[in-house]
Structure 1
Amino acid sequence: MTAALTLYTNPMSRGRITRWMLEETGVPYDVRVLDYGTTMKAPEYLAINPMGKVPALRHGDLVVTEAAAICAYLADAFPAAGLAPALADPARGTYYRWLFFAAGPLEAAVSNKALGVDVPPERRALVGYGCMADVLDTLEGAIAGKDYLLGATFSAADVYVGAQVSWGLQFGTIEARPAFAAYAERLEARPACRRASAADDALMPPSA
């Protein structure tokens, strides 16, 4: 695919995940930095993402939003990067499982914790993730004793899950278990992750 790639982002957003994913693909891309409440809500951008939030990715005439979807899309759009198992590979199911586990139960549980929402036991069936302890135990079981979610093979699922783990550890919304710390450390050492972080850090406001 030779169509131009444009990332709409803000350095204080989930756009950091998609920049990391783009760096992992090795494909050139342009960046448009938007500001909360102004350019992110302007008619020009709302025509791209009516939600008025970032990230969004334009690939030629196609627009993809939601960080997990962008990661999955890029892995398939640029298969030479080897960031997703082939469709016929049984590991494809495991890849989908953890990518969307992080986009669903993990992110919901972490968001509720950050907001101070404590779901009572009798209402846990309504929230999709049950309770934080179950989410974290499940996640720990997925990464303990191996380098990546697919074992020895890094994938786009590690980009999305790893970003969630790193942020959770940084901001205290994910319990600092040894397996999580080791996983985050491995991922943060990847050259693509370091390049993406440096690029976004350079865009941060001085007071941030």
Structure 2
Amino acid sequence: MKLYTKPGACSTADHIALQWTGQPFEVEVLTAATMKEPAYLAINPTGAVPAIVDGDFVLTQNAAIMGYIADTYPQAKLAGDGSPRQRAEANRWLSFVNSDLHPAFRPIFGPAAFLADEGQHDALKAAARKRLRALYEQAEKQLQGRDWLAGFRSFADPYFYVTLRWAGFLGVDLSGLPNIAAFKARMEADIGVQEALKAEGLA
């Protein structure tokens, strides 16, 4: 299995998940420029990451890739113990990150896609930061008494961790959220996380 990733993008979460499987894999680290070159566009015509190639199978979209990694390496238990309930919990929190948290960053990453008037961009970003704070407060409650979002280490956790890195860089207020702070420290102490960050030049 080969992963195509861009340093610090959501694809870093898939990189961590692959590290957690303990199984061999390849990784190609792309740049904004190489993501638009013909070689990669032949793999993912949208020029976005992540993408994986497993033999003759090509898969894009973060949530789908996380599920594929979990199903390919079930011994890693990234979707739980195999029970429908644990799988559903893992998917619930993966969906929270993929469908709620990640999109909430978009007005900060690219306000021009939402408003043409540059004079309104700061207000838009401020609103996005407020929305993100509310979402992180939900996660803070979920992490009370838990080490991991689903109650066990799952494929939701690397993706959540990547958004915490974004939040730190982009001035999202994470103060007074001790459970999230402990989660972030736990992730950064993890060998698999450290190896993924090192390979992407982020350590």
After TM superposition, the score normalised by the length of structure 2 is 0.81
Equivalent position of 1:160 in the other structure: 159
Q: Secondary structure at the match of 2:52?
A: strand
Q: Distance in 1 between matches of 2:169 and 2:88?
A: 30
Are 2:99 and 1:104 aligned? yes
Per the TM alignment, residue 113 of structure 1 is displaced from its structure 2 partner at its CA by: 4.1
Residue 25 of structure 1 aligns with an amino acid whose one-letter code is: T
Shift of the 54–133 alpha-carbon distance from structure 1 to 2, 3 Å rule, reads closer
Per the TM alignment, residue 99 of structure 1 is displaced from its structure 2 partner at its CA by: 0.4
Q: Distance in 2 between matches of 1:24 and 1:161?
A: 15
**Preserved contact between residue 140 and residue 179 of structure 2 (Cα < 8 Å):** yes
Equivalent position of 1:150 in the other structure: 150
Segments of 5+ residues of structure 2 without an aligned counterpart are: 112-121
Equivalent position of 2:185 in the other structure: 185
Per the TM alignment, residue 12 of structure 1 is displaced from its structure 2 partner at its CA by: 4.4
Q: Distance in 2 between matches of 1:92 and 1:65?
A: 21
Q: Secondary structure at the match of 1:131?
A: helix
**Preserved contact between residue 68 and residue 99 of structure 1 (Cα < 8 Å):** yes
Equivalent position of 2:124 in the other structure: 118
Q: Distance in 1 between matches of 2:94 and 2:60?
A: 15
Per the TM alignment, residue 163 of structure 1 is displaced from its structure 2 partner at its CA by: 2.0
Matching of residues 36-55 of structure 1 within 5 Å: 36-37=32-33, 39-55=34-50
Equivalent position of 2:7 in the other structure: 11
Shift of the 159–113 alpha-carbon distance from structure 1 to 2, 3 Å rule, reads same
Per the TM alignment, residue 7 of structure 1 is displaced from its structure 2 partner at its CA by: 1.4
Shift of the 119–36 alpha-carbon distance from structure 1 to 2, 3 Å rule, reads closer
Residue 101 of structure 2 aligns with an amino acid whose one-letter code is: L
Aligned-pair Cα RMSD in Å: 2.7
Instruction: Give aligned pairs, total.
Output: 190
After TM superposition, the score normalised by the length of structure 1 is 0.79
Residue 132 of structure 2 aligns with an amino acid whose one-letter code is: M
Equivalent position of 2:66 in the other structure: 71
Q: Secondary structure at the match of 2:59?
A: strand
Are 2:140 and 1:140 aligned? yes
Residue 22 of structure 2 aligns with an amino acid whose one-letter code is: G
**Preserved contact between residue 119 and residue 131 of structure 1 (Cα < 8 Å):** no
Shift of the 117–72 alpha-carbon distance from structure 1 to 2, 3 Å rule, reads farther
Bigger helix share: 2
Residue 161 of structure 2 aligns with an amino acid whose one-letter code is: G
Q: Distance in 1 between matches of 2:16 and 2:126?
A: 36
Per the TM alignment, residue 175 of structure 1 is displaced from its structure 2 partner at its CA by: 2.3
Q: Distance in 2 between matches of 1:7 and 1:200?
A: 12
